[in-house]
Structure 1
Amino acid sequence: MTSNPENNSSVEIRPIGSLQSCISKPDGSAVFTQGDTSVMAAVYGPGDVKPNKALMDKATVTVTYKPKIGISGVREKALERMIRNTCETVLLTTLFPRSSVDIIVQEIQDAGALLACSINAACLAMINAGIPMKCTVAASCCMMGKDEELIMDPTKEQTKDAECVLTSAIDSSAHSLIASSMQGSCSVEQYHKLMSVCQKACDKVFEFYREAMERTLSKP
């Protein structure tokens, strides 16, 4: 397995950073950066929901993905579905029936692992909003190149030569798979190898979450 050339270890990902409460109007917000990739997420709610979208037994979760430039298309709709399905899984939506949790994700810079960074930004924003969650979620990306070379946290440039790119979202409680997205194709054995790399990368993200929360709570 090969790590990103920016790193010096096969179990490291590009440098991670975050900024919480970066916008005043939403109930929660966060910027998540990984290498040169940067995503901002804002969370509103639980709040009022339109009657035609209200669910009697749980909150309605909506996700709007905004590209860096241009208008949303098929790519953005696919990202919205993945982010929404992931967030719905970890949110305690049954505590807030007939309400809405709205998540806005803004792409700032895409230098690789955009979907993973978007999920991580949304998770930090939900934590910042104080919405009850079953657990947190971390997402990561791994690619398989030529000769079955595995690259953890590949850059956008590296994925141009990928045979397969896997993005996986893992929960913090059971460390089980919540959602995954794959571009390209691979064998079952290769998939398990990719998943193993993604899980190692997600562990690094969970570690970052803990450190970020400790820094936030320690502020006067």
Structure 2
Amino acid sequence: MDLSEPEFNPSTREFGCEQNLLSRPDGSATFIQGNTNVLAGVYGPAEVKVSKEIYDRATLEVLIQPKIGMPGVPERAREQCVRETCEAALLSSLHPRSSLTLILQEIHDDGSLLACCLNAACMALMDAGLPMSCLFCGITCVISSEGQIITDPTSQQEKESRAQMTFAIDSIEKRVMMTSTKGAISVQELQEAIALSQRASERIFQFYRDSVRRRYSKLQ
């Protein structure tokens, strides 16, 4: 497992990642942010049911399993965010009339769970060798009661915050691919949170590169 220390953002926790750790999926990865951990598995391209078939691109299904119990409304909302991000990044037109399934299993939630799901999803898609126009990462920010913006918050920081935002950032232009917000946020706070998230994304993309480089250097 690869670990790296925070470089420029004091509120960013340690990252950890391991790819290709499951034998049945076509691609898999686990991603760790502090004590938050998500396991991802990708299946496909495979045959798709006629009722779900799309003639010009692959059909993507995203399933999120909570740590305990059955999926509920929060999981469905996260599934939609992850699916929209993956659909924007994947070159699904190269696999028309086929099925892609992404399953995310919550191992532990200590804050920034949606961001961790996005990061685990990207690493699993990379491991599956699926063609993408860009990589992406997830960044969660909260605004404390004092107005401070904190990136990669813990669950305690999320509970004490007055607003929460998660952004999916692309690796090429650092543009925002998806936004999920909760609470009252001013335009200025939103702009500041996006700028901080774009800065934080540089470190995550560097972690992606270092993690993959270390993996393949071991195979040589």
Give 1:24's aligned amino acid. S
Contact 2:11 2:150 in 1 (8 A): no
SS in 2 for 1:103: strand
Superposed counterparts of 1:57-96, under 5 Å: 57-96=56-95
Q: RMSD between aligned alpha carbons? A: 1.4
State the Cα distance separating 1:159 from its structure 2 match. 1.0
| C-alpha separation in 2, matches of 1:121 and 1:7 | 19
Q: Percent same amino acid at aligned positions?
A: 43
| Distance in 1, Cα, partners of 2:21 & 2:102 | 15
TM score, norm. by length of structure 2: 0.94
Q: Where do 5+ consecutive residues of structure 2 fail to align? A: none
> Structure 1: which 5+ residue stretches go unaligned?
1-5
Q: 1:213 offset after TM fit, Å? A: 1.0
Structure 1 moving runs of 4+ over 4 Å: 6-9
Partner in structure 1 of residue 218 of structure 2: 219
Q: Write the deviation string for residues 5-48 of structure 1: whole angstroms up to 9, x where unpaired.
A: x9795455100000111100000000000000000000001111
Q: Contact 2:11–2:153 at 8 Å: present in 1 too? A: no
Alignment of 1:141-152 (within 5 A): 141-152=140-151
Q: Distance in 1 between matches of 2:17 and 2:143?
A: 28
Classify 1:162/1:12 alpha carbon distance in 2 versus 1 (closer, same or farther; 3 Å): closer
Q: Report the CA distance shift for 1:83/1:8 in structure 2 as closer, same or farther (over 3 A).
A: closer
Deviation at 1:147, TM superposition (A): 2.4
Q: Relative to 1, partners in 2 of residues 1:8 and 1:26: Cα closer, same or farther, differing over 3 Å?
A: closer
**Alignment partners' CA distance in 1, 2:118 and 2:179:** 11
Does 2:124 align with 1:125? yes
Report the equivalent of 1:181.
180
* CA contact 1:11–1:152 (8 Å) conserved in 2: no
TM-score (ref. length: structure 1): 0.94
Q: Name the SS for the 1:169 alignment partner.
A: strand
Q: Check the 8 A contact 2:37/2:108 in 1, yes or no.
A: yes
Looking at structure 2, the residues matched to 20 and 7 of structure 1 have their Cα atoms a distance apart, in angstroms, of: 21
AA aligned to 1:73 is G
**Cα distance change of structure 1 residues 187 and 68 upon mapping to structure 2, 3 Å threshold:** same
Local SS of the residue matching 1:19: strand
Aligned-partner Cα distance in 1 for 2:86–2:189? 27
Q: Any conservation in 2 of the 1:12–1:201 contact (CA below 8 Å)?
A: no
Cα deviation for residue 97 of structure 1 reads 0.4
Aligned residues: 215
Determine helix, strand or coil for the equivalent of 1:102.
Answer: strand
By how many angstroms is 1:217 displaced? 1.6
> What residue identity is the alignment partner of 1:101?
L
